[in-house]
Amino acid sequence: MKKLIKLAFLVGGAYAVSKVVTAKKAEWTGLGESEVRAKLDARLPEQMPAEKRSEIADKVVGKMREKGVLGEDAPTDEVSASDEPASD
């Protein structure tokens, strides 16, 4: 009986860990490059030099691009932001 309880806890723990990992992956999937860089910049400590943070962000963005989970950035030009004519 004790072995069955231990097995149930082990399976439950593995299931919980897999759910957390899946949720964390979903949180980063589909983000644009600028969003990923901003999120990484917020998470990395500010004591780290800016060039090191930039190097880490480059590596992360590169790996995400290889895996195909990097989304498209939103267009920033004013023309595509609104199709309506400007009214004065």
| 19-65 pLDDT per residue, tens | 999 999 888 888 888 888 888 888 888 888 888 988 998 998 898 88
Return the structure tokens found at 4. Answer: 């069955």
CA 60/CA 58 separation, integer angstroms: 6
Estimate to the nearest angstrom the gap between the alpha carbon of 12 and the chain centroid. Answer: 26
pLDDT for residue 71 is more than 60 = yes
pLDDT for residue 78 is more than 60 = no
pLDDT for residue 76 is more than 70 = no
Pick from 13, 41, 78: nearest CA to 5: 13
- Collapse the DSSP code of 83 into the 3-class scheme (helix H, G, I; strand E, B; otherwise coil) and give the result: coil
The answer to whether the CB of 71 falls within 8 A of the CB of 30 is: yes
Answer with the residue of higher pLDDT: 21 or 88. Answer: 21
Return the structure tokens found at 48. Answer: 């780290």
